[in-house]
Amino acid sequence: MSLQEDLEKRSGNQCELCTSKNEIVIYEVKPTVTVGGSGVDGSLLACEFCRNQMDGTIEMDVNHWRCLNDAMWSEFRAVKVVVWRMLSRLRSEGWPKDLLEMMYLEGDDLRFAKESGDHLEESEKVIHRDANGAILEAGDSVVLIKDLKVKGSSMVAKQGTAVRRISLDHENAKFIEGKVGPTQIVIITDYVKKMAEKE
């Protein structure tokens, strides 16, 4: 079965957040590197309205997200992680905070949920920027702008190497992580340039 078929079967062919059947497609939960690439564990089916709100392309409709009252009890990792992130984003409304207090995520799931930084106040958020000042987000791809010696090994990551699906260090704005070949390395943001989607 394809990923689409697996998710349709799992969800009953509806949005796994609000149960709408309107323009539902696969939504990958970033950063996909946390779940070992996309797949059933790192994806869910979401309607157009939910996707646009999650991605910030339309104004947030707080009342729409009351649907999370049901979705929060999902047994599926990707759904629970997105519910937790959305409730964290909306917690100033009051009722989402109550739902968050009722929610339980296993350690790995909670760490994955926190990768987005949605649980932090704006003043607490660590903003990662590349050498040109562009904001880096978990799941982005970057390219190295100089040769980098990899600490603890004889390997040199060459200038021009693409590093896909980076993850962020939420305590230090200068550090990101990503794979160069088979090796997961820490990279200083001063030495990378964000890649455009189509690159």
Domain that holds residue 98: 3-114
Write b or e for each residue in 14-39: b if 16 or more Cβ atoms lie within 10 A of its Cβ, otherwise e. Answer: bbbbbebeeebeebbbbbbbbbeebe
Instruction: State the CATH number of the domain containing residue 141.
Output: 2.30.30.40
Is residue 121 in a domain?
no
Q: Are residues 13 and 64 in the same domain?
A: yes
According to DSSP, the residues that pair with 136 across neighbouring strands are: 128
What pTM value is reported for the model?
A: 0.62
Q: Are residues 146 and 181 in the same domain?
A: yes
* Span 124-144, pLDDT tens digits: 567 888 999 888 988 889 999
Is residue 119 in a domain?
no
Closest CA to 150 of 95, 197, 191, 109: 191
Q: Are residues 82 and 178 in the same domain?
A: no
Per the CB < 8 A criterion, the answer to whether 27 and 54 are in contact is: yes
Domain count, the chain: 2
* Span 40-78, pLDDT tens digits: 888 999 999 999 988 877 888 999 999 999 999 999 999
Assign 199 a pLDDT band (cuts: 50, 70, 90): very low
Average pLDDT, the chain: 87
